[in-house]
Structures are given as C-alpha cells and as structure tokens.
Amino acid sequence: MKVEPHPLNTSFEWATPPGPFRRVTAEQARQFDDLGFFVLEGAFDAPTIGKVRAEIDPFEEGTTTWLREKKGGRHVISDADAITFTTHLVTKSPLLRDFVSGPVFTDLCADLVGPDVRLYWDQAVYKKPEKPQPFPWHQDNGYTFVEPQQYLTCWCALTDATEENGCPQVVPGLHKRGTLKHRWTEYGFQCVDDPGGALPAEASAGSIVVFSSLTPHLTGPNVTDSVRKAYIVQFAPDGAVAVRDGGVRETQDDPDRQFPILSEGQPTS
C-alpha cells in the first residue's frame, strides 16, 4: 500500500513541543518529536487504576452483551469475542470525568497540545483472548479528519500491556507527514501495509502510551488467556473542528463529553 497524504491534508507542518515542560522530560519530548510516541511509566498508582478499571468493567460488559445480540456478535469493527469499544464514558461516570481532568492529563496537554485544550474522545478498548485478531495500521486522525490535525492520544494501560496480549505498536517518523490516506478494511481503516521499523510500546498497568493523533499504530492479537484492558483518552486544542463528508465542519465542543480541561494553561477544575 503506497503511503499518500489524506485528500484534506494539503498544508500540514508538524509542531515540535516547545517547552518548558511540566511532566514530560526533555528525553520524552525528543522521543515524541522524533518517533511520535513515548511511554509515561507509572503515571497512576495501583489503587487509582484499580478504581478506574472497576468503574469501566460494567460498562464494557454492557457493550459485550449488546454485541452478542448482533449478527455474528459484531458491529462495524467491534466483536464481542475479539475487541470491544465502549465510548463516551465521561458522560456516564463522574469518577472518569474527574480522572481525565486530573493533573496527569492537564500536565501532558500543557506540554504537548497547548494552553487551551478540550477532551476530544474517550473510550475503553478491551482485547479478548477468545478470538485473536490484529488491528490495522492507522492514524487516529484517519478515522475522523480533525483540524488541527495534531492532537494527543493517551493510551492508558488498565492491565499490563505486552506484545503477547496486544500492546500498541507504532511506526516512527510518519507522524511528521500529517494525516495519510486510509482505506477501509474488514477490521477498520488502514494507512500502511507491513511497515518496517515498527516499535512495540509495552506498558505496565497505570502507565500511559502517549502518542500523536498522526502516529501510525496498531495493537496486535491477544494470544494470552486474559483480557487486555485499556482506556484511551484524546485531547485537542480548543476550537478544533471535525471535517465531515461534503466539507461540513463541526466544532468539537459538546459540553457533555468535550469539555475544557485547560484554559490559558490552567486546569479548569
């Protein structure tokens, strides 16, 4: 598959994080700039991540039950026995709303996004062992084209994420080209085929794989006997817009799920 720019990606320029940094080290900032990702180890202690996991589990069980009522146990790219996506959890849980607004994320956003930032998206992604399945190489901005193209994905490990159970893997360097052209596959959008030089991003429970919305990545199959659990939260500059079919532009400011977390560099709560 030839790597080409997305049709809407006509004038992208990568913005290097300028510093000074609140939480990111100088080395992590360099890795984010050069490779498009880094792992923030031990971002949350075991009791905190245990509460988050316990809060999410019942919602994910509801998603799995709903999927089992569908033909083949599937809906679009969700599969009750392979991988589930449970979205907009901040609209259902005050605990999770507080979690995504906490100091770890506000610091990361101040370091890597800017002074005025909103939550853009949140979802739990549970990879099951019953039906090992890879996920295609994609960029987050390949699913919905957002401007500015460069926003932040925080992949929070709720259980240890390893190569065996489907940790993220990333393709370094391509993030600086902006959003790439994607094609639809049975398992989701794909922007590259079998790229060389991919790097695994293993993360212990409570750690965060921090990467750009423009970093091509996937998660491999879960070949263990346990569910790999992750909570993904994404943050975009205030005023970001999603470009829909026909060029319709929608500002991403839903007050229930896309609330501000930083204003003029200061936490909003």
230 belongs to a structural domain:
yes
215 belongs to a structural domain:
yes
In this prediction, residues 7-11 reach a mean pLDDT of 94
How would residue 1 be classed by pLDDT, with cut points 50, 70 and 90?
low
Residues 6/180, Cβ–Cβ less than 8 Å: yes
**Residue 237 to residue 91: CA distance in whole angstroms:** 20
pLDDT at 85 over 90: yes
Which of 41-45, 128-132, 209-213 has the least mean pLDDT? 128-132
11 belongs to a structural domain:
no
193 belongs to a structural domain:
yes
For residue range 98-126, list pLDDT tens digits in order. Answer: 999 999 999 999 999 999 999 999 999 99
5 belongs to a structural domain:
no
Domain range holding 237? 26-267
19 belongs to a structural domain:
no
8-state DSSP, 203: B
How would residue 62 be classed by pLDDT, with cut points 50, 70 and 90?
very high
Residues 260/118, Cβ–Cβ less than 8 Å: yes
pLDDT of 187: 86
**Residue 183 to residue 253: CA distance in whole angstroms:** 28
185 belongs to a structural domain:
yes
Structural domain total, the chain = 1
The CATH number assigned to the domain holding 235 equals: 2.60.120.620
Tell me the pTM. 0.96
Bigger pLDDT: 187 vs 86: 86
252 belongs to a structural domain:
yes
